[in-house]
Amino acid sequence: MRSHGKPGAARLILGAVVGLLAAGCTAVITAPVSVSDPVPVYVLDHGRHNSLVLVVEGERALRLAYGEWGWYVEGRTGPLRTLSTLFRPTPGALGRGELRGPLEPACWQAEVGSEIRAVLGFSAERAEVRALATSIEQRFDTADPPPSVSLRLNLEFIVAERPYTLAYNSNHRVVEWLETLGFEVRGDPTLGRLRAADPAHVVVLDGISCAPGVGSAPQNRQPSITE
C-alpha cells in the first residue's frame, strides 16, 4: 500500500525537535550601561526568528535579517524543507530593507513580510550603529552576484559568508549584531526567545496612531518557524 503519511510524519518530527529545544532556548539581552550619543535599536520578534532595526542618520530605519537562502529568497518552504535546513548546512541569506513609515514600531507591520509579535527597544552608540550599518551596506553595494529582491518579504538579499544551520540561524545573527553594538546576551537564542533583562525595554505596540494605510498587516506573511 502506498503511504501518504510523509508530510504528517515530518510535522511530528519537526514538532518533537522544536519541543525538545524549546525547553531551554532563551537568551536575555542587557543593554549597554552607558551610552553617550544614543540612537534607537529595535529587535523585532517574529515568533521563532528575529530581525534587527537600526535607526541611522537620525531618521532612516534600516532592517537587517538573516535566514536560509532557499526559504527566504527562493520560497522553498514546508516541513520537509525545514527539517533539511535544520540538520545540514545550507546557504545563508543576509537581508536588508528600509522601513519608510514613521519611526514607530507599531506602524511597521505593513512593511514587514513577517508578523511582528513583539518589539524590544534599546539605545546604542550612534558611531557603533553607523559603523555596523555602513559595513553591511558596503557588502550589498559590492556584492557579486548583485542582491536578489524579495517582494514577499520587502527585503533584498545577498549570499551570507556563513552557512545557515540550526546552530547558526537568524537569532544567532541578531545576537552577533547586538554584541557588536556593545550589548551583552546570555543564554541560547536558537528558537528565537530573545528577552530584555529590563522589562522597560518592551515596546508597547497598542494605542499608537499611524498615518492612514500604515500599520496594517501584509497579505503574505513569512511562516513563523526557525529561520
- What tens digit of pLDDT does each residue of 132-159 get? 999 999 999 999 999 999 988 999 999 9
Residue 11, pLDDT > 90, answer: no
Q: Give rounded-to-5 percent helix, strand, coil for the chain.
A: 30, 30, 40
Instruction: Convert the pLDDT of each residue in 119-135 to its tens digit.
Output: 999 999 999 999 999 99
Q: Tell me the residue length of the chain.
A: 227
Looking only at the bridges linking them, the beta strands covering 155-159 and 60-68 are unpaired
Q: Amino acid identity, residue 154?
A: N
Interval 171-180 mean pLDDT: 98
Q: Is residue 5 part of a domain?
A: no
Based on its alpha-carbon atoms, the radius of gyration of the chain, rounded to whole angstroms, reads 18
- Residue 39 carries which side chain, given as an amino acid letter? V
Place of cell 534599546: 122
Instruction: Examine residue 206 and state whether it is found in any structural domain, yes or no.
Output: no
Give strand pairing partners of 40. Answer: 123
| pLDDT, average across residues 83-112 | 89
Paired strand residues for 60: 56
Angle (nearest 5°) at CA 76 between 70 and 77: 115
Evaluate whether residue 218 is within a structural domain: no
Q: What is the pLDDT confidence band of residue 59, given thresholds at 50, 70 and 90?
A: confident
226 is a domain residue? no
Tell me, yes or no, whether 15 lies in a domain. no
CB atoms within 10 A of CB 210: 16
pLDDT at 29 over 50: yes
Which residues have C-beta within 8 Å of that of residue 18, sequence separation ≥ 6?
48, 191, 226
Which has the closest alpha carbon to 112: 2, 227, 221?
221
Place 16 in a pLDDT band, splitting at 50, 70 and 90.
Answer: very low
Name the domain count of the chain: 1
Q: How confident is the model at residue 101 (pLDDT cuts 50, 70, 90)?
A: confident
Preceding peptide of 79 cis, ω within 30°: no
CB-count exposure of residue 97 (10 Å: 0-12, 13-18, 19+): buried
pLDDT of 192: 80
2: in domain? no
Structural domain includes residue 211: no
CA distance 144 to 164: 19
- Show the domain range for 97: 22-201
Domain assignment of residue 26, yes or no: yes
Rounded distance between C-alpha atoms, residue 227 and residue 112, angstroms:
15
List phi, psi (to 5°) of 4.
Answer: -115, 20
